[in-house]
RNA sequence: UCCCCGAUAGCUCAAUGGUAGAGCGACCGGCUGUUAACCGGUAGGUUCUAGGUUCGAGUCCUAGUCGGGGAGCCA
């Protein structure tokens, strides 16, 4: 592909004196009567944080023929500018484009009501104009960082010999057990087929109270959008050794928080022949790799986040890079929390071995007590999923059964990674399925992995948007994904 | 889903139950190698929706819708 114009990001790197053509959208336009009339048109094409300033003259050698039209350009107009890259006479930019011609590609038809006019806007408002918010400093930066991180995810795993597995979006097994699911169906919702009693005569009236007959549905059984690629990716792990999946994930939970989406992206690596310790090391390396990459590759955007979104962000991330994550058994964490209570710390919810930690407890550990990312390990069996590997009795001096699970907690966001070593022993797995009253039949292929050459293996899930929040300082998850899907929110 | 708070100009917000206001943005003009520009002026309103109380409701009451913060569920 040959393009005759220059990206703004490249224009900034071109030698002074270069002839350039740039194309983009007007960010700001100021004019002046000096030098017989000139306009300063800042143009952004989204390729980097800064727009480039184009100086357009009404008189002299570089006079443009349509100067009065250029004067009228407002924020959002699309333009194409020919000119020369010159050292800037003004402060605030090192180089600028001295324009020889400005072609107006698209005007803003009602500048008085342009939704992203040149002024401060709240994130709540910008969410209502998600199709235009990416033209702002913040959302442009978010979009570039998001891309940078997506690439880094693949590079991290590729460099370590992991294979990228496309796990299915639609799942016909109702056994993933990670929350409410969205149904996928082609049945007539108003009049679905019903299961007829065995002794029903042909043509008998349908019983509207009878269960829906999904054998007539598209997949011949109930189907849903996936809540996790883990079970599928485990199968590839048990053949390719190191694999990961990175795709959209769906939860139909009625969650109304700044940390939850109905549609989000999740990264799930799975490693064969590995235990929880190896799993946690991978998780730590991964988070540090993402952190380093975004600092190295998007310094312009990260500087903006540090200045305008979360003062101190860069310092915080530097600290993350330099400090080993704190590893801590759940049982130990309970002791720390109990000690804190003895010393006068007040929690809304009680702390008790065997119960799940509340948000406030996790935040205390990562934000107040350790002030750094913390990996909690070996949780009580009863609060974790069936597929997590049962530890030997007495692990960490725990008073009850634990499983080889881990949560990576980070300040401000809380849980960013959840993972575990998987139960590779068929008899133990079967006992767990039975204890939790899960439909054993549905797990036939998952159980097969334990019947045919079972191996220890482990993996985790990283919420991509939560990583975005952690690395940009953005406080609402709906602002780190282009078009957020949440309860009552699916516009665009 | 639960608790708390909110909805007024394009945006951010004011307005004791008694004439609907400012800043920014937009538009017009002035000044200026400008850059969160500055100075002067103009336009811009079914006060979220539906009921109710009242001589009179942006303001009080009820219900709903949407948004925010916190909690739960989790990534």
DSSP A424-451: --HHHHHHHHHHTT--GGGGHHHHHHHH
A489 touches strand B (CB under 7 A): yes
For residue A109, say whether its CB is under 7 Å from any atom of strand B. Answer: no
A147 vs A483: CA distance, rounded Å: 15
Task: Provide residues 289-348 of A with CB closer than 7 Å to any strand B atom.
Answer: none
Please compute Rg for chain A using Cα positions.
28
Q: Are strands A242-250 and A457-463 parallel, antiparallel or unpaired?
A: unpaired
Provide the pairing of β-strand A326-329 with A163-164: unpaired
Domains of chain A as residue ranges with CATH? 8-113 (2.40.50.140), 143-168+228-479 (3.30.930.10)
Kindly provide the ipTM of the predicted complex, given to two decimals. 0.92
Helix (H, G, I), strand (E, B) or coil at A264: strand
Q: How far is CA A492 from CA A92, A199, A226, A464, in A?
A: 36, 49, 22, 21
Q: What is the pLDDT of residues A352-366, one digit of tens each?
A: 999 999 999 999 999
Question: Nearest nucleotide to A86 by CA–C1' distance?
Answer: B33
* β-bridge pairing A402-410 and A52-57: unpaired
CA–CA separation, A180 and A189 (whole Å) = 19
In the 456-485 stretch of chain A, whose C-beta falls under 7 Å of nucleic acid strand B? 461-463, 465-466, 475-478
Nearest-10 Cα torsion for A121, A127, A129, A132: 80
The per-residue pLDDT for range A72-87, each reduced to its tens digit, is 999 999 999 999 999 9
Q: Tell whether the model's pLDDT for residue A195 goes beyond 90.
A: no
User: Which of the 33-52 residues on chain A come under 7 Å of nucleic strand B at their beta carbon?
Assistant: 33-35, 38, 40, 42
- Residues A402-433, buried b or exposed e (16+ Cβ, 10 A)? bbbbbbbbbbebbbbbbbbbbbbeeeebbebb
**pLDDT-based confidence at A176, cuts 50/70/90?**
low
Could you report the per-residue pLDDT of A95-135, keeping only the tens digit for each? Answer: 999 999 999 999 998 888 899 998 889 999 999 999 999 99
Establish whether the CB of A173 is closer than 7 Å to any nucleic acid atom in strand B: no
What is the spatial distance, in angstroms and rounded to an integer, between the CA atom of A308 and the C1' atom of B5?
A: 26
Residue A300, pLDDT > 90, answer: yes
Q: Strand B positions with any atom < 7 Å from protein CB?
A: 1-2, 10-13, 24-28, 31-37, 43, 65-75
Question: What is d(CA A486, CA A447) in angstroms, rounded to the nearest whole number?
Answer: 34
């Amino acid at each position: 592909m040959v393009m005759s114009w220059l990206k703004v990001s490249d224009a900034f790197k071109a030698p002074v004196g270069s002839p350039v053509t740039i194309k983009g959208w007007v960010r700001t336009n100021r004019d002046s009567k000096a030098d017989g009339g000139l306009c300063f048109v800042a143009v952004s094409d989204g390729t980097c944080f800064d727009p480039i300033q184009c100086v357009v003259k009404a008189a002299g050698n570089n006079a443009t023929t349509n100067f009065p039209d250029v004067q009228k350009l407002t924020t959002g107009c699309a333009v194409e500018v020919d000119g020369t890259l010159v050292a800037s006479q003004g402060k605030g930019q090192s180089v600028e484009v001295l324009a020889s011609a400005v072609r107006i590609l698209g005007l803003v038809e009602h500048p008085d009501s342009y939704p992203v006019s040149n002024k401060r806007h709240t994130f709540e408002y910008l969410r209502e104009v998600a199709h235009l918010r990416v033209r702002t400093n913040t959302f442009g930066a978010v979009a570039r960082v998001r891309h940078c991180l997506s690439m880094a995810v693949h590079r991290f795993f590729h460099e370590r010999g992991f294979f990228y597995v496309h796990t299915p979006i639609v799942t016909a097994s109702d056994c993933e057990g990670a929350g409410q699911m969205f149904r996928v169906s082609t049945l007539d919702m108003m009049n679905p087929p019903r299961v007829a009693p065995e002794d029903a005569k042909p043509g008998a009236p349908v019983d509207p109270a009878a269960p829906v007959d999904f054998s007539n549905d598209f997949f011949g059984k109930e189907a849903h959008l996936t809540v996790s690629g883990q079970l599928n990716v485990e199968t590839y792990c048990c053949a390719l050794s190191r694999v990961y999946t990175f795709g959209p994930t769906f939860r139909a939970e009625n969650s109304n928080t700044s940390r939850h989406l109905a549609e989000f992206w999740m990264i799930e690596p799975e490693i064969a022949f590995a235990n929880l310790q190896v799993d946690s090391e991978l998780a730590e390396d991964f988070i540090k790799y993402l952190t380093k990459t975004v600092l190295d590759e998007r310094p312009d955007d990260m500087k903006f986040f540090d200045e305008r979104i979360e003062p101190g962000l860069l310092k915080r991330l530097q600290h993350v890079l330099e400090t080993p994550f704190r590893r801590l058994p759940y049982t130990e964490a309970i002791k720390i929390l109990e000690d804190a209570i003895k010393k006068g710390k007040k929690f809304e919810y009680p702390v008790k071995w065997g119960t799940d930690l509340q948000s406030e407890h996790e935040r205390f550990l990562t934000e107040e007590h350790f002030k750094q990312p913390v990996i909690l390990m070996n949780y009580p069996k009863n609060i974790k999923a069936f597929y997590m590997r049962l530890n030997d009795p007495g692990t960490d001096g725990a008073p009850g059964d634990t499983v080889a699970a881990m949560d990576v907690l980070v300040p401000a966001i809380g849980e960013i990674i959840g993972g575990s070593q998987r139960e590779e022993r068929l008899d133990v797995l079967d006992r767990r399925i039975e204890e939790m009253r899960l439909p054993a039949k549905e797990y036939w292929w998952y159980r097969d992995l334990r019947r045919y050459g079972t191996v220890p293996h482990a993996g985790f899930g990283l919420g991509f948007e939560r990583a975005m929040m952690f690395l940009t300082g953005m406080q609402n998850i709906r602002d780190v994904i282009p078009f957020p899907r949440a309860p009552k929110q699916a516009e665009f």
